[in-house]
Structure 1
Amino acid sequence: MTSKPMDDLTRDRFLGGRLELWQPRRGYRAGVDPVLLAAAVNTKPGQSVLDMGCGVGAAALCLGRRVADLSLTGLEIQPDYAALARRNADENAIPFEVIEGDLASMPAPLRARQFDHVIMNPPYFDRATGTAAEEASREIALGGPTPLSLWIEQAARRLAPRGFLHVIQRADRLPDLLTAAQAGLGSLRLLPLIPRPGRDSQLVILRARKGGRAAFRLHAGLVLHDSASHDGDRENYSETIRSVLRDGAALPFPR
């Protein structure tokens, strides 16, 4: 794998232009996944949020744009991405503390802190059964060496009692995700994201609570696109998803 300097950037519009983020033209680029993750978080003004593996800050800054007066912190292992996250926070006037470090060896500034919410978009692929990406920065984001179980373990440690964890992950990693979450969290609720009517779920959002005791709940899937197949250049998102992606609305996680 090779890593190239981040001197070729794009500035991309999110939330219908309410947020603009610098990203590398090559390597890992945030898309709709962190936006959906942020929209699912049931946070309130005045609460604290840790975005583990924050990248350029997409999820945390989308959340900060939707909910005022949050204390936002990000942890990012790649210095170039951490620098872009700080730049994006400054240029969008959203307070966001970004700490560089590896969650496998939690940086000292985070070890003694706890948060009302932890959010994460951990690597989607298990490299024990897959092929690494050629671009180093992309590989760290999509299939880094830290196991999913350690992501969940470290998140649980950073949560305050009764705090919430939100994770977006591939559906085929669900067995690993649920096994890891059951070790230190409860009140697990799962929202499948279905790309089109009649298709299988490809992504899921998990909500879990530290100290939660409610029974596991598997919610009906949320369909992202109205049509059964791609029918041209128009995006054809469902009304619910369009309001999240274009208007910055909250994702209606079932009660």
Structure 2
Amino acid sequence: MSWPLKALSADRFLGGKLVLHQPLKGYRAGVDPVLLAASVPARPGESLLDLGCGAGAAALCAGRRVPGLRLAGLERQDSYAELARRNALANGLEMAVYQGDLSAMPEALRQAQFDHVIANPPYFRRDASTRAPQPEREGAMGEDTPLEIWVDAAARRCKPGGFVTFIHRAERLPELMGAFAARLGSLELKPLLPRPGRESQLCLLRGRKNGRAAFRLHAGLLLHAPPAHVSDRDDYTSEASRILRGGEPLIFG
């Protein structure tokens, strides 16, 4: 499937440094993949794989922030894989996009390993939530591949000494940490706090392949300054704005 332009919107990320075409109906990337990309401790010349890359938001944000980062993505929905390729080309970034499933990766990808592997897996278990009406959105939001398989695939594609970073819902954290601890070491957790006084809804979890350092729980990143949403204006904290608009890194420590 090829998306006609009339079915897409052109959305600005990183303060306009990156423009992504996304479907008007279906799954649309918000700030989550931007925060995920910003948290990756990548350096120029290293490689990054985005599992379930969608239209390419996380990988391309990382590529825009870190010049010379070699990008790859795996996406099971061919329409989104094609859109990720289009978005990479339109933004002048090179990205190898593979179409396939976590359990049935293309051979070329199964033979490769990366310095960084990232993922923004579907958040919601369908035994405890409602399916999305659009098939494309359901494919991105509703879990039909167990979280453990996501982590196992990421760990296998990560180089020794490399990093795996996921963003996920806080209520799934016990399950996610268990899967990480079975395959990775040096775990670090960064809660994302929506507003002052509110519980964390999202977390960033990072592990290192063959890492041996003790677990670290970092201070949370506060995203919005006011305790409640009072207007349609941007109310991000200065730190969150520097990350989301200015393309600065999200430092765990």
For residues 68-108 of structure 1, give each alpha carbon's deviation from its aligned partner in whole angstroms, at most 9, with x where no partner exists: 11110000001110111000000100111100000122221
Cα distance in 1, alignment partners of residues 132 and 230 from structure 2: 30
Cα distance in 1, alignment partners of residues 174 and 226 from structure 2: 29
The answer for the alignment partner of 1:15 in structure 2 is 14
TM-fit CA distance, 1:183: 1.1
The answer for the alignment partner of 1:96 in structure 2 is 95
TM-fit CA distance, 1:6: 3.7
The answer for the alignment partner of 1:151 in structure 2 is 150
Amino acid in structure 1 at the alignment position of 2:31: V
Alignment of 1:99-248 (within 5 A): 99-248=98-247
Cα-Cα RMSD: 1.1
Unaligned runs of 5+ in 1: none
Identity of aligned residues (%): 58
Q: TM-score, normalised by structure 2?
A: 0.97
Cα distance in 1, alignment partners of residues 2 and 45 from structure 2: 37
Amino acid in structure 2 at the alignment position of 1:152: V
Cα distance in 2, alignment partners of residues 101 and 244 from structure 1: 31
Runs of 4+ more than 2 Å apart: 4-7
The answer for the alignment partner of 2:33 in structure 1 is 34
The answer to whether residue 88 in structure 2 is matched with residue 84 in structure 1 is: no
Say whether the 8 Å CA contact 1:104–1:146 is kept in structure 2: no
Say whether the 8 Å CA contact 1:195–1:225 is kept in structure 2: yes
Cα distance in 1, alignment partners of residues 123 and 152 from structure 2: 17
SS in 2 for 1:251: coil
SS in 2 for 1:103: coil
The answer to whether residue 65 in structure 2 is matched with residue 66 in structure 1 is: yes
For residues 182-213 of structure 1, give each alpha carbon's deviation from its aligned partner in whole angstroms, at most 9, with x where no partner exists: 11101000000000000000000001000011
Cα distance in 2, alignment partners of residues 243 and 221 from structure 1: 16
Unaligned runs of 5+ in 2: none
Amino acid in structure 1 at the alignment position of 2:55: V
Cα distance in 1, alignment partners of residues 218 and 251 from structure 2: 11
SS in 2 for 1:26: coil
* Count of aligned pairs between the two proteins: 251
Amino acid in structure 2 at the alignment position of 1:43: A
Q: TM-score, normalised by structure 1?
A: 0.96
SS in 2 for 1:104: coil
For residues 190-242 of structure 1, give each alpha carbon's deviation from its aligned partner in whole angstroms, at most 9, with x where no partner exists: 00000000000000000100001111111111110111011212111000110
Amino acid in structure 2 at the alignment position of 1:54: C
Say whether the 8 Å CA contact 1:52–1:118 is kept in structure 2: yes
TM-fit CA distance, 1:11: 0.6
Amino acid in structure 2 at the alignment position of 1:19: L
TM-fit CA distance, 1:5: 7.4
